[in-house]
Structure 1
Amino acid sequence: MKSNVSSVKRLGRNFAAALLHFVFASVGSAQDFPKHALTMVVPFSVGGGTDSIARDMAKLMSDRLGQPVVIENRGGAGGALGADFVAKAKADGHTLLFATSTFATNAAISLRLPYDPIKDFSPIAMIGRGPLLIVGSRQLGARTLSELITLGKTKPEGLNYCSAGEGSINHLAGELFSQKTGLSMTHVPFKGSGPATIELLAGRVDMFVATVPTILTHVHESKLPVLAVTGAKRSPLFPDVPTMAQAGVPGFEVTTWWGILAPARTSPQVIEMLNRVINDAASSETIKARLEREGADSIRMTSAGFTKELTHELKTWQAIAKTANLH
């Protein structure tokens, strides 16, 4: 009997010691962090809007962490190559992913990704969010969203719309537009927003659900009409342009976002520390002004909040993709 009691006590002491070791190791990992330079992977090519915002964030994060934050561009497969690299990196907080809304939309149509967008990542913070724009070609002749919808219903072949590629935010937003309006629409994917915009300007495609920086210059030069914004409220950049609900298409709210994730199983203490640093950087005048030029707002968000948002958005896009038979 005494032997059994001693064994139980010994097991209890061992468990307590292991628990204390885990707690102190976790605290220690946060206190020692960062031990060296961080790598922030941008899953797109050098020079784009996402790359530029990431570099602004990296500089501000470096100032606050006391270690360099180095940008590494790993473009390809709609952002999947860069995301996969981070998913398989050491979970110590030194390798991060600078993601956009395409992280969710690409995962929504891709059933064979080498990673799980939820299980293989620890979301740290979303830094900004902004609407897209419904833009028609001048050759189409639609001056309002209702005119575009009417044209689409009267054309035997329906309308076509361009995107930056399969699985992009433009692609799935176009599919949602088709579902909400009942229009027959043909998707015309391109390798990036630049080529898509060129075809829209030439009138070879009818419509583009575009990000603000992609299209802003052409709108200011009156080369392309903006028919609606996809956010819940009007954009300060386009105060005279209605929201989708105001233009007659309720239930259509689509935003693009930027956020930072770490590999799954990264210490919660490190995630919390990085969350504070990222939120502080995103609240700086540098990032606020930069996002305002993109038609977006900076955001302060907890890791749990970002996880909830990402999970909800992925489910939403998966449902849209399923309805459109994109799987």
Structure 2
Amino acid sequence: MSLDDNLTIVLTFLYPMTLPHFSRRQWLASAAVGSFVHALGAQAATYPDKPVRIVVPFAAGAGTDAMGRLLAQKLGDLWGASVVVENRTGASGAIGTQYVAQSPADGHTLLLVAAPFTTVPAVLPTAGYDPVASFAPIGMVAEGPLMWACNKDLPINTLAELVAYAQTRPGQLNYGSAGAGGINHLVLEQLKAKKGVSIVHIPYRGIAPATLDMIGGQIHLLTGTIPALAPFVRDGRIKPLAVTTAQRHPSLPQVHGLAEQGLSDLSALNYFGLVAPKGTPADVVARLGQAIGRITAMPDVQARFKADALEPAPQGVAHMDRFIRSDLDGWKKVVRQQGIQMEAI
């Protein structure tokens, strides 16, 4: 008796009422699919079965690196497994991001994403990856606003006042960013596009030298994270104009949100999340998402987020998918409106 005949007998025993409605070939195909699904389930049940790498596409010591190492430590503790951070730097994060996109889709190579994940391909179509098509979202981890700030001698105190001031002085104000094509740059371009102001962009190699130049009076404006700018706000060396979300942030309650300034059409979010290569099994993604939810609920992790002016954001796969699509589309629109063209960043 052939293998096919044996399989038919087994299927007849298991499904006596339904077998007459199907040919032997259909049943064989069904059995093959079932074996494949069972194999996927077995893979998820044993995951991780080798070291997991979280690729951080920026240098060690940066905020993204610190977040990656926190997640690696906590995931390793939860699973009793090896979870390590691998820094793959260059091209404003594009090199490490491309690497993960091309890695095996088995859940053992993950990418820590932040704002450049969407801003870079928005300004640079040749970035070498698509945030939507190349990746499977796992979940957001944390999020928080940026903060608009200015030199202390500029005669304005809110972002709304900046808009009015700039509209009467086209091209007379300047703005420093952490580099062309980054979120700091695009926040300025968003303001220019929506409010019709002319402010000169001056890109720096990082936000720290731009901040020092603003303190010294060489430039007028910038945006940065709250932890980076808050010390200079508290000692009076710079003036805060707004946080880049609708409401005030509890870490600096005296700084206005956008909605109360009549600027709710502006927004920008500093975020962290995890993604995997497209095609990673859904059960593996689900297990990772559950782990992220447990980690972001830990008191010590929440205390760490609070110190960094971040909020836990473990809303899951569907939320992250919507966020990435919306964020990418929004920055692409700003790029088109402002006619930004770049060959490299």
Do the structures match in fold with TM over 0.5? yes
1:308 to 301, 312, 322: 322
The question of whether the paired residues in 2 share the 8 Å contact of 1:96 and 1:263 is answered with yes
The DSSP-based 3-state class of the residue aligned with 2:273 is: strand
1:225 aligns with 2:234: no
SS in 2 for 1:225: strand
- Residues 1:128 and 2:138 are matched in the alignment: no
Structure 2 equivalent of residue 211 of structure 1: 225
CA contact (8 A) 1:125 1:260 kept: yes
Preserved CA contact (<8 Å) 2:178 2:185: yes
| Pairing 1:269–2:283 present | yes
Provide the TM-score with structure 2 as the length reference: 0.89
Aligned equivalents of 2:131, 2:162: Cα separation in 1: 36
C-alpha distance in structure 2 between counterparts of 1:239 and 1:156, whole Å: 31
Q: How far apart, CA to CA, are the structure 2 residues paired with 1:136 and 1:79?
A: 28
What letter corresponds to residue 294 of structure 1 in structure 2? Answer: D
- Counterpart amino acid of residue 270 in structure 1: V
Corresponding residue for residue 12 of structure 2:
none
Q: Distance in 1 between matches of 2:249 and 2:170?
A: 34
Measured in 2, the distance between the counterparts of 1:33 and 1:195 equals 44
* CA-CA distance at 1:154 after TM superposition: 2.9
Distance 1:190 1:79 in 2: 17
Q: What is the alpha-carbon distance in structure 2 between the residues aligned to residue 291 and residue 180 of structure 1?
A: 31
Q: Scaled by the length of structure 1, what TM-score is found?
A: 0.94
**Matching residue of 1:251:** 265
Q: CA deviation at 1:100?
A: 0.4
Give 2:50's aligned residue.
Answer: 36
* 2:100 aligned counterpart, secondary structure: helix
**Which of residues 118, 131, 137 in structure 2 aligns to 1:104?**
118
Q: Which of 50, 54, 69 is the equivalent residue of 2:83? A: 69
Deviations 1:41-87 (A, max 9, x none): 11111111221122111111111122121111112111111111111
SS at match of 1:205: coil
Contact 1:140 1:203 in 2 (8 A): no
Tell which deviates more after alignment, 268-277 or 69-78: 69-78
In 1: Cα distance, 2:111 partner to 2:258 partner: 32
- Contact persistence 2:160–2:263 (CA under 8 A): no
* Distance in structure 2 (CA, Å) of the matches to 1:94 and 1:23: 20
Does residue 297 (structure 1) correspond to residue 314 (structure 2)? The answer is: no
Q: What SS is found at the alignment partner of 2:85?
A: strand
Contact 1:104–1:310 at 8 Å: present in 2 too? yes
Contact persistence 1:60–1:281 (CA under 8 A): yes
Query: How large is the RMSD of aligned CA atoms in angstroms?
Result: 1.7
Question: Counterparts of 2:130 and 2:189 in 1: how far apart (Å)?
Answer: 23
User: Distance in 1 between the 2:104 and 2:126 partners?
Assistant: 23
| Residue type at the aligned position of 1:87 | A
- The one-letter code matched in structure 2 to 1:110 is L
Q: Which amino acid in 1 is paired with 2:29?
A: F
Deviates more, 1:28-37 or 1:296-305: 296-305
The aligned residue for residue 90 of structure 1 is 104
Q: Is the 8 A contact 1:134 1:210 kept in 2?
A: yes
| Per-residue deviation, 1:156 | 4.5
Q: Structure 1 CA distance, aligned partners of 2:234 and 2:274?
A: 31
SS of equivalent residue, structure 1 residue 204? coil
Which residue does 1:3 correspond to in 2? Answer: none
Offset of residue 180 of structure 1: 2.4
Number of the residue aligned with 2:211: 197
Q: Using the TM superposition, give the Cα deviation of residue 184 of structure 1 relative to its aligned residue in structure 2, in angstroms.
A: 0.5
Confirm or deny that 1:161 pairs with 2:171: no
Separation of aligned partners in 2, 1:254 and 1:141: 25
Unpaired runs of 5+ residues, structure 1, are 1-5
Query: Residue 57 of structure 1 contacts residue 287 of structure 1 at CA under 8 Å; is this kept in 2?
Result: no
Greater shift, 140-149 or 96-105, is seen at 140-149
Partners in 1 of 2:82 and 2:289 — Cα distance?
17
Report whether the alignment pairs 1:241 with 2:241.
Answer: no
2:197 maps to 1:183? yes
Which deviates more, 79-88 or 186-195?
A: 186-195
**2: CA distance, partners of 1:314 / 1:75:** 21
1:297 counterpart letter in structure 2: E
Between the two proteins, the alignment pairs up a number of residues equal to 322
Matched with 1:59 is: 73
Once the 2 structures are TM-superposed, how far is the Cα of residue 176 of structure 1 from its aligned partner?
A: 0.8
**Amino acid across the alignment from 2:241:** L
- Aligned mates of 1:158, 1:122 — CA distance in 2: 44
